[in-house]
Structure 1
Amino acid sequence: MSVLATIGVLALLITVHELGHFLAARLQGIYANRFSIGFGPVVLKYQGTKTEYALRAFPLGGFVGFPDDDPDSDIAPDDPNLLRNRPIADRAIVISAGVIANLVFAYAVLVSQFGIVGIPDSFNYQAGILIPQVVGDNSAAAVAGLQAGDIVLRADDLVFAGTQNNVQGLVDKISTAPQQAIELEVQRGQERLKLVVTPDLTADGQGRIGVQLAPNGSVTYRRPHGLGEMFSLAATQFQDMLFRVVKGFQMLITNFKEMASQVASPVKIVEWGANIADADSGNLFFFAAFVSINLAVVNILPLPALDGGQLVFLFIEMLRGRPVPSQIQEGVMQTGFLLLMGLGLFLIVRDTAQLPVVQQFFQ
């Protein structure tokens, strides 16, 4: 059920993004004749009075179609309500509306989290340290056999009782032992395992194994003291999430070789979300907000086939005083789309092969 819930969250986020584009066009009177979730062959379709709504076979995104690019459209080429005939500002609103929708949705989800689940009041610490995610295929943690959902009970002679300093204790242990074997005692479901991990040596001379760490235990929630507290806390958490996401992309760009293995496909995101939901279903709100912000930041990057790439063409048009030739735009966008789809399929295959159930099947 947690997997289905996570897939539902991702589908909702894609729908929110495309709905942002669609509503921004329709509210300005701009024609939009297609609204699709996914790519490839149509699975389900509904023809409205002005728009075809479709669910397609490959759920790697979605798109809003405009009659500007439809050779069968009976709309006059000079119709002022075609997207290409609108001023740059109108087109920029349509293109950027998906990103804005995801950011607004993320904030609304955080507000809902505090209103429905409550506000974290205290944490009941239990023995061990939770590993929510193993980062990177070739990281020291992955090589040692650590998996998302594992609970580290001991590292050499350091035993992690139910205290608040557990995570920092393990971080210190790892960072001060680069290229030195550390024996871990790990709880995985009903099993207790002994694994040996050897931290990688980082550029600053410290050890790293490539995992996220979190306290093991459960949160006690309280009801919010009015709407003001809900909106204020949501704004603070939203700002913190946005900063961390942007910082992560900056690190990916500036240190691509080391960070590239952390780029995840929808398969890995679903696995991560399912683990979060298994630990605490209320965390699905956090997961939805975090992924929605990621989706917004990814789409605003100035890359072909993304919203940011289209905004670059609008900026060039503003500087030149006339649009970039349509043949060039189409060539760049189609090439970018094929590259992104290829990357997406590669990541899906890679992350699917790393799923524990798949690895057990081939053992």
Structure 2
Amino acid sequence: MTENPGILLTILAFVLVIGPLVFIHELGHYFVGRWFGVHAEAFSIGFGREIFGWTDRRGTRWKVGWMPLGGYVRFAGDMSPASEPTEEWKALPLGERSRTFQAKPVWQRALIVLAGPVTNFLFALIVLAGFAMAYGQSQTPPVVERLVAGSAAEKGGLRIGDRIAAINGRGMETFDDIAGFVLYRPDELVQVDIVRGGVAQRVAIETGVRIEKDRFGNAYRLGVLGIYSPQMVILPVSVLEAPGVAVERTGKILTTMVDTLGQVITGRRSAKELGGPLKIAQVSGEQANRGIEDFIFFVALISINLGFINLLPVPMLDGGHLLFYAIEAIRRKPVGAAAQEWAFRSGLLVLLTLMIFVTFNDLSSFKVWERLSGLIG
């Protein structure tokens, strides 16, 4: 169980996670927009009333809002949630209109929008590349060294010396791949391809369950096989190899995100496990309490998460804009203003509903409702 980091460290850690990640996300939008000649009217970290800010020589207002749960870049001409041309935009002088977001061709607008999530991924790649050079890469072979008595692996027929080649058709190159795949599949029947004595075989194993609890008493079900690895093999990673290792690790993290999201959608995992800002704040404090390396890795993980979520084809997110731009490129004309407005209003409703839901989950995980019911009772 992680030691309580305290409320002040938790708040500080949360700000140090969200603030820089929002900043680099919006900075991606800003620089690509500037590259294409689009004027940025405002660059804000946080929402709500401005705490402080300044205006640069290009006329961009840089400011910090009192609520540090996001941020935005407002480009000239981007006058509605759907980024559609308005009568106000059409009335602008030609020279001024040419510096607006809507005056740019669809491929430039798409690249400006795409730049935010891409910048989040690039940040994570830099961090993971640094970790790879500092700590090396695990190449421990996916071989069963020992079995836990009565474990899922033993019951499923695995033997010492078996090499696990794949699980559910996904290749297992290292022992870490096995642990990472099984961890999010508790009590689930999986097909395990093994090589035993040079002969390929397939066995069906129902994974075991390990229960872990946080300091609030919330229980989490994690999958286990009950096998031990051979002696750990860590290989050094050169500067030239580091980017490739970082891309590989990012790909595995994204795969895990897609898998767990699919499990929630299909009901194999409880939607109660979805966390929001309060949960991120809690984990931010815990990771900061564990040390700078754990905290930096957590920031990289959240950066990947932020990039992934923003690419989902949901109106109001970057992915929703990209979807409309793709349709516009195919149709050779924008989606109708009424359809865009309806879609973005619906998207806003979905996001608000999701935010309320995950916040409710967060408060439940902190036992807030139990304490309130106790006070009322």
For 2:106 and 2:210, locate their aligned partners in 1 and report how far apart those are by CA, in whole Å: 60
Contact 1:246 1:297 in 2 (8 A): no
Matched, 1:328 2:339: yes
The one-letter code sitting in structure 2 at the alignment partner of 1:4 is: L
Contact 2:46 2:65 in 1 (8 A): yes
For 1:230 and 1:260, locate their aligned partners in 2 and report how far apart those are by CA, in whole Å: 36
Q: Which residue of 2 aligns with 1:58?
A: 67
Matched, 1:104 2:117: no
For 2:214 and 2:264, locate their aligned partners in 1 and report how far apart those are by CA, in whole Å: 32
For 2:137 and 2:371, locate their aligned partners in 1 and report how far apart those are by CA, in whole Å: 38
For 1:277 and 1:86, locate their aligned partners in 2 and report how far apart those are by CA, in whole Å: 43
For 2:336 and 2:122, locate their aligned partners in 1 and report how far apart those are by CA, in whole Å: 34
SS at 2:50's partner residue? strand
Q: Which residue of 2 aligns with 1:233?
A: 245
User: Once the two structures are superposed, what CA deviation does each residue of 1:233-281 show, in whole Å capped at 9, x if it has no partner?
Assistant: 323322221221232333344x158442222101111212322333343
The one-letter code sitting in structure 1 at the alignment partner of 2:250 is: F
Gaps of 5+ in 2: 1-8, 80-85, 140-175, 189-208, 225-231
Matched, 1:18 2:22: no
Q: Which residue of 1 aligns with 2:44?
A: 36
Q: Which residue of 2 aligns with 1:305?
A: 316
Q: TM-score, normalised by structure 1?
A: 0.66
Contact 1:29 1:81 in 2 (8 A): yes
Q: Which residue of 2 aligns with 1:128?
A: none
Q: Which residue of 1 aligns with 2:355?
A: 344
Displacement of 1:298 after TM fit? 0.8
User: Once the two structures are superposed, what CA deviation does each residue of 1:138-158 show, in whole Å capped at 9, x if it has no partner?
Assistant: xxxxxxxxxxxxxxxxxxxxx
**Alignment equivalent of 1:4, drawn from 7, 12, 16:** 12
Displacement of 1:106 after TM fit? 0.8
Q: TM-score, normalised by structure 2?
A: 0.63
Q: Which residue of 2 aligns with 1:80?
A: 98
The one-letter code sitting in structure 1 at the alignment partner of 2:37 is: G
Displacement of 1:60 after TM fit? 2.7
Q: Which residue of 2 aligns with 1:134?
A: none
For 2:10 and 2:335, locate their aligned partners in 1 and report how far apart those are by CA, in whole Å: 46
Aligned length: 290
**CA distance 1:5–1:315, shift in 2 (3 Å):** same
Displacement of 1:319 after TM fit? 2.4
Gaps of 5+ in 1: 123-163, 177-181, 198-208, 214-219
Displacement of 1:361 after TM fit? 8.6
The one-letter code sitting in structure 2 at the alignment partner of 1:340 is: L
Measured on the aligned residues, the alpha-carbon RMSD in Å equals 4.2
Aligned positions of 1:105-184 closer than 5 A? 105-115=123-133, 118-119=135-136, 175=187
The one-letter code sitting in structure 2 at the alignment partner of 1:228 is: L
Q: Which residue of 2 aligns with 1:245?
A: 257
Displacement of 1:67 after TM fit? 1.9
Contact 1:314 1:323 in 2 (8 A): yes
Q: Which residue of 2 aligns with 1:125?
A: none
The one-letter code sitting in structure 2 at the alignment partner of 1:341 is: L
For 1:355 and 1:212, locate their aligned partners in 2 and report how far apart those are by CA, in whole Å: 24
Displacement of 1:9 after TM fit? 1.6
SS at 2:64's partner residue? strand
The one-letter code sitting in structure 2 at the alignment partner of 1:118 is: Y
For 1:242 and 1:183, locate their aligned partners in 2 and report how far apart those are by CA, in whole Å: 24
